Amino acid sequence: MADPCLSSAESLARRIRDGSLSPVEVVEAHLDRIDDRDGELNAYVEVLDDQARRAAADAERAVESGADLGPLHGVPVAVKDLQNVAGVPTTFGSKPMTDFVAEENDLFVDRLLDAGAIVLGKTNTPEYGHKGTTDNLVVGPTGTPFDASKNAGGSSGGSAAAVAAGLAPLAQGSDGGGSIRIPSAFCGVFGVKPTYRRIARPARPNAFTHTPFSQLGPHARTVRDAALLLDVMAGPHPEDPMVLPESDDDYLAATTRGIEGLSVAYSPNLGVFPVEETVTDIVDDALSAFERAGADVVDVELDYDGRTREEMEDAWLAGFRTNFGALAEDRKALGVDYRGEDRADATRTFVEAADAGAAMSAVDYQRADNVRTDVFLGVQDVFEEHDLLVAPTLAVESIDNAGDDEGNTVGPSELNGEPVDPLIGWCLTYPFNMTGHPVANVPAGLTAAGMPVGMQVAGPRFADERVLAATAAVERTRPWNDAYDTL
């Protein structure tokens, strides 16, 4: 019998429905594996042992009684610790927030529960998801299962590590600058950022966010599992003024479609990024999967009306810094003052971002949006002639955990002789947050050191089904599941 911890979510759901596998067995197997492995990885902030066991027993009774079962009935799912599960602490990766207990579920959690899923626990994240590595003052860094001394990436590092190591078949992430794709690349799993606001996200106090970068999405070991979770999470809600309207997209069905005749544009650096040669070589080799699936691969040069990488980086940082500046003010209502008495208990890079955001002028912000427009148009130009755009996910092979107990794990400040921002400058991910296009990370291969490398596959806005069809075709022609067997 297949190990439940390494089985696909789709297989688990099918076997639970037909009675050949008990949801109690599935949950217990995952809890045992978490006990065995997570001390090394640090993927979970909190494991909901008792709650998950009760839910599994309820799920088993529902199967036995012949009740109507949802598409994820009995399947464990992990939730990132930036999102709320009622009655459970949400720390946001922030030491001053460790006593905050959510009063209600986030919308997508309700959708998971309605689909029959079992919430297994909350996964680690940097403070408020502010950087591309996962480390904080609450529980410390999360390691990739391929080498726990290397960082899992961020900000959904706990979710990606949990899925890769078999500590959950599915996990939710959020992606405001690459936070699903970065850890998916470092942990060798599939992760997708849908078109902006494909998944409703009612928000207070600011539903009309001025930095519409972040989007919820799934981590999974297979494309079909991610599509299954996306089918459950997607859809509008009346309290989200920016959400896309109801669609008849069927993401699971999209994974069976071919990509014969599609034109795949390839950029090894998105026009502006320095990239390590090891990464480029592996992604170059992985392109053959598209050709074997019947697509045509064409090299392209991206241009953003002359904008430099430094301008793009600064524009993205402007958006997030203003968010953190406002967040720091909002948290005063909860008795937390990040720029005052609680500053010493916050990650240095987070409070520096909040300081910068508070000092930013409206004129500076408008200039950043002008850069964003040029980035959007540069990517749109590619889709005028091509069906997909492929690039490396990250510029580096791996990042060492800092090991200083201060939450200070960050990326390099220099790459190929060029200065880069250590929070996000080594990630080829954030341009697609600026533009809102759907984009996924696909495992492209392993380096000589055995570390996974990721490849981004982006599509036109609203073409989420095409991205899933293409990535599923890559998985069929260049499968990656064997990599998990030794973890």
Distance of CA 461 to the CA centre of its chain: 18
* Rounded mean pLDDT, 414-434: 97
Domains of the chain: 4-261+394-486 (3.90.1300.10)
> What local confidence, expressed as pLDDT, does residue 416 receive?
97
Q: Is the pLDDT of residue 199 over 60?
A: yes
Average pLDDT over residues 345-354: 98
DSSP sequence for 314-337: HHHHHHHHHHHHHHHHHGGGGT--
- pLDDT for 206: 80
By the 10 Å C-beta count (0-12 exposed, 13-18 middle, 19+ buried), 361 is classed as: exposed
Within 331-361, residue ranges assigned H as helices are: 348-359
Catalytic residue among 22, 80, 131, 174: 80
Q: How far apart are the first and last CA of the chain?
A: 19
Contact between residue 97 and residue 342 where contact means Cβ atoms under 8 Å apart: no
Please say if the pLDDT value at position 404 is more than 70: yes
Separation in Å, CA 479 to CA 188, 283, 287: 12, 14, 13
Q: Name the pLDDT band for 207 (thresholds 50, 70, 90).
A: confident
- Name 264's bridge partners: 297, 388
Q: What pTM did the predictor assign?
A: 0.98
Residue 383 has pLDDT above 90, yes or no: yes
The whole-chain average pLDDT of the chain stands at 97
Instruction: Tell whether the model's pLDDT for residue 210 goes beyond 60.
Output: no
Whether the CB-CB separation of 29 and 75 falls below 8 Å is answered with no
pLDDT at 2: 85
Q: Answer yes or no: 155 catalytic.
A: yes
Average pLDDT value for residue range 245-253 = 97
pLDDT in tens, 88-143: 999 999 999 999 999 999 999 999 999 999 999 999 999 999 999 999 999 999 99
Kindly state the average pLDDT of the residues 389-403.
Answer: 98
Lowest-pLDDT range of 47-61, 72-86, 198-212? 198-212
Mean pLDDT for 41-57 is: 99
Compute φ and ψ for 414, nearest 5 degrees: -145, 140
Mean pLDDT of 341-368: 96
Catalytic residue among 7, 22, 155, 184: 155
pLDDT confidence of residue 325 = 95
Specify the pLDDT at position 212: 63
Q: Tell me if residue 131 is catalytic.
A: no
Outline where DSSP puts E strands in 133-287. 143-144, 147-151, 170-175, 190-193, 215-220, 263-266
**Region 244-256 average pLDDT:** 97
Provide the percentage of residues in the chain whose pLDDT is more than 90. Answer: 95
How far apart CA 272 and CA 331 sit, in angstroms, is: 37
Mean pLDDT within 306-334: 95
Cross-strand pairs, 392 = 455
- CB of 392 within 8 A of CB of 286? no
Q: Bridge-partner residues for 316, per DSSP?
A: none
Which one from 156, 179, 214, 267 is the annotated catalytic residue? 179
Q: Does the active-site annotation cover 8?
A: no
pLDDT at res. 232: 99
pLDDT attached to residue 485: 80
pLDDT at 190 over 80: yes
pLDDT of residue 299: 99
412, pLDDT greater than 60? yes
pLDDT, residue 211, reads 61
